[in-house]
Amino acid sequence: MSHKIAVAISGGVDSLTAAYLLKKQKKDIFGIHFLTGYEKNKINFQHIEDALKIKVHTIKIKEEFDNKIVSYFIKEYKKGKTPNPCLICNPQIKFGVILDHAKKLGASRIATGHYARLEKNNNKCRLLAAKDKTKDQSYFLSFLKQPQLQAAIFPLGDYTKDKVKQIAEKNLPALKAETEKESFDICFIKNKKYSEFLNFAQKTGDICDNKGEIIGKHNGLHLFTIGQRRGINIPASKPYYALKIDPKNNRLTVGHKKELLSAQCFVNRINIINSPSDNPVKIKAKIRYRHTPAKGTLYLSEDKKSGRIIFEKSQSAVTPGQGAVFYNAEEVIGAGIIG
């Protein structure tokens, strides 16, 4: 097996510091940067190569990115869901398409600037939350399969963001302009509003309350997500929030804040990283990236491809299309898409 490591270089502080840390450990590394066609800023890779003393390969993957990620994002919105494309991009692009390219270039593993940790024992990987809980990105890695985790390296998992910045400032002064850059969560949208990117034809429809009474009109379901308050211009003593998006009938159901609470949610397209010994199993579920994990019980189907989470305390704005990530303490045991 080759000992070469490819480092996914975005050009920001995290990926550049990850490359520096591996280089410091005397690892045999090279950089790999992929172009999706949605980039706005050009990166001076000669500058990066000179500073890190590594080769950076540039790979064009617009067709794969559009087919696997952008089309998924658009299709899910048309179904009235709110997808998180990063959950799909990591297994299909970074640890799929890009890992395949890295192997063709002679690497056996790929490192990224994600804030997460890995433990590898007896050919099994455990995906763990990062040391810096404010920057932890294990949520976004929860759909990786065991072979992908085996090929992954996360050099920043034991560092805080502040420490990473300090390392970059001290050891990569020539890359100051680059290391001040931050990544966007949804890289192909950036400064646009979702509605501007989707650019769906405006299709007005009914706004109903929870009893089915028509109380107003909306200008397009793609303008709303579950829990949203903005854009529901209906006079009321209490503000309305989006409760349900029904594309089949082009209907938005709204209600008051307490009606956003859900005692359970259903999940499908489940990815199990390490299969629990029990079913049902006690977990903490993170139902969106900025959500505080909620205690609950996961009931898996016999084939473990779908399931149901019963929360100990009802959760607000459980949103179809978002990822529900299952934690056992700091370990990610799996994830599914909320249905």
Catalytic residue ranges: 89, 187
* Dihedral sign of CA atoms 333, 270, 241, 254 in order: negative
* Dihedral sign of CA atoms 138, 141, 144, 146 in order: negative
In total, the chain counts a number of residues equal to 339
CA 108 from chain centre, in angstroms, equals 24
Task: Report the candidate in 59, 63, 83 with the shortest Cα–Cα distance to residue 10.
Answer: 59
CB distance 125 to 117 below 8 Å = no
CA distance 149 to 228: 35
| 214-218 and 124-129 beta bridge pairing | unpaired
**CA neighbours within 13 Å on the CB side: how many for 284?**
12
CA distance 5 to 28: 6
Both tokens of 56, joined, read: 């950076």
298 SS3 class: strand
CB distance 216 to 207 below 8 Å = yes
